């Protein structure tokens, strides 16, 4: 439990209640909700603003509640539904239903295993990518102790932009699934609250075994400057012929005899294992006019070795963030087992 000075909290709740319209929830409810936020390491001032926003500014979904007379939780709404901002400012409110989720426990991204669920996440923004779709304003990777997950923000929704390497409590995001891979969507119902809670992003999956094959294109590659896709004959499948940017990577196959895993080593990991960095690779190719020389030099240094690899799994590949050579195994236990057979 976080240390919260109850007097400060009570005083803050009273100030918020004073600033809100008369038909807002009672001060005790506001204090409860604020307590919930503060327990997620939301600074008190941010928690105050959040609650002011929540009850001080009417939102269109609550208008729907008023007009339709239903007791909607807001959570069954279509996340794609565009917001009608004009309805949002009549200053009237009576519902706490739509956003009173502060008592729910945040879900771990590693536990997400269904689509269409509304969840709260406490996450770090690991990476932001360029959106390739007009319908999506922001796309990237979120992480918590259990691993990472992709996120996307609908361009039509009124969600603040997330910053890289910043931690957030995201309330009411919707889970999605595409080709077996899970993601979350930020939508109009989503609350984005910056938090100073420490988040150590988990490394996702751990795999081990010998690296037995390398897939192309590996070695020195060129990426599209727009979208980072690997170019084929200087062509990006999205952006046509572009002036590519050099990068170094290895796509490998790990096979422990029971299971096969695909792994990607980025520039840093490749250098760590082989001593060949991007500049060296570019020099090699300039000296020989042979782009394949890089992977021919890399392959004999890593094939046939046993590795233990940790990293997030993205599009079926484990993106290595940590690699260790597997050490030798003790022989005596195996001899005992063999003798008993």
Partner 1 sequence: MSTQDRELARRAFARELEDATHDFEGDEGKNPPQFVLLPTGVRANRLFIIGRLVDVEDIGNDTEYWQARIEDSAGDSFFAYAGPQYQQQATNYLRSVSPNTYVAAVAKPDVYQTDNGDHNVSLRPERLVTVDEQARHRWTTEAAESTFDRIDAFYNNSSPDIDKAREIYGTSLESYRDAAMTALRNLQQPDPK
Q: Where does this chain bind partner 1 (CB under 8 A)?
A: 210, 212-213, 215, 253, 255, 257-262, 299-300, 303-306, 316, 325-329, 331, 334-335, 337-339, 341
SS3 category, 317: strand
Distance separating alpha carbons of residues 174 and 166, to the nearest angstrom? 20
Q: With respect to partner 1, which residue has the nearer C-beta, 49 or 255?
A: 255
**Tokens representing 119?**
């969840």
Least separation in angstroms between residue 264's CB and partner 1 is: 13
Q: Provide, rounded to whole angstroms, the least separation between the CB of residue 207 and partner 1.
A: 11
Assess contact for 120 and 165: CB atoms under 8 A.
no
Q: Which residue, 205 or 253, has its beta carbon nearer to partner 1? A: 253
To partner 1, the closest distance from the beta carbon of 305 in angstroms equals: 5
Q: Which is nearer to partner 1, 3 or 333 (CB)?
A: 333
Shortest distance, position 292 Cβ to partner 1, whole Å:
11
Backbone angles phi, psi at 303, to 5 degrees: -65, 145
Shortest distance, position 332 Cβ to partner 1, whole Å: 8
Contacting residues for 164 by C-beta, under 8 A, at least 6 apart? 125, 126, 127, 128, 140
* Listed residue (127, 103, 108) closest to 38, CA to CA: 103
Smallest gap from residue 341 Cβ to partner 1 (A): 6
Q: Which of 233, 147, 187, 164 is nearest to 61 (CA)?
A: 187
DSSP codes joined into one string, 141-189: EEEETTEEEEEEEETTS--PPP-TT-EEEEEEEEEEEETTEEEEEE-TT
One DSSP character per residue, 243-284 reads --EEEEEEEEEEE-SS-EEEEEE-HHHHHHHHS--HHHHHHH
* Residues belonging to the chain: 341
- Which of residues 221 and 299 has its CB atom nearest to partner 1 in the complex? 299
Q: Would you say 162 or 298 has its CB closer to partner 1? A: 298
| Closest approach of partner 1 to the CB of residue 40, in Å | 39
Closer to partner 1 by CB, 133 or 339: give it.
339
Closest contact distance (angstroms) between CB of 306 and partner 1 is 5
Handedness of CA 307, 202, 133, 117 (dihedral sign): positive
**CB nearer to partner 1: pick between 165 and 329:** 329
Q: Which is nearer to partner 1, 114 or 260 (CB)?
A: 260
């Amino acid at each position: 439990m976080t240390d919260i000075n109850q007097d400060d909290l009570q005083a803050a709740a009273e100030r918020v209640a004073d600033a809100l319209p008369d038909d807002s929830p009672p001060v005790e409810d506001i204090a409860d909700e604020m307590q919930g936020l503060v327990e997620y390491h939301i600074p008190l001032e941010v928690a105050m603003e959040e609650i002011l926003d929540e009850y001080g500014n009417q939102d269109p979904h609550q208008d729907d509640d008023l007009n339709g007379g239903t007791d909607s939780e807001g959570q069954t709404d279509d996340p794609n539904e565009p917001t009608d901002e004009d309805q949002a400012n009549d200053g009237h409110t009576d519902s706490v239903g739509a956003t009173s989720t502060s008592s729910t426990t945040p879900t771990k991204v590693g536990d997400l295993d269904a689509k269409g669920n509304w969840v709260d996440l406490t996450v770090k923004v690991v990476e932001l990518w360029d959106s390739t779709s007009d319908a999506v304003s922001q796309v990237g990777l979120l992480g918590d102790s259990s691993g990472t997950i992709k996120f996307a923000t609908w361009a039509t929704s009124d969600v603040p932009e997330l910053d890289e390497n910043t931690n957030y409590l995201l309330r009411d995001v919707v889970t999605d699934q595409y080709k077996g891979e899970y993601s979350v969507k930020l939508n109009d119902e989503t609350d984005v609250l910056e938090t100073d809670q420490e988040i150590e992003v988990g490394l996702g999956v751990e795999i081990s075994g010998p690296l037995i094959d390398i897939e192309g294109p590996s070695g020195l590659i060129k990426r599209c400057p727009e979208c980072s896709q690997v170019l084929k004959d200087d062509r990006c499948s999205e952006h046509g012929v572009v002036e590519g940017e050099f990068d170094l990577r290895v796509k490998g196959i790990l096979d422990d005899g029971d299971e096969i895993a695909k792994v990607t080593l980025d520039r840093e990991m490749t250098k760590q294992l082989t001593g060949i960095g991007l500049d060296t690779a570019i020099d090699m190719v300039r000296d020989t006019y042979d782009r394949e020389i890089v992977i021919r030099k890399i392959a004999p240094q890593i094939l046939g070795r046993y590795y233990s690899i940790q990293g997030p799994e993205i599009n079926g590949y484990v993106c290595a963030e940590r690699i260790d050579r597997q050490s030798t195994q003790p022989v005596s236990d195996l001899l005992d087992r063999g003798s008993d057979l």
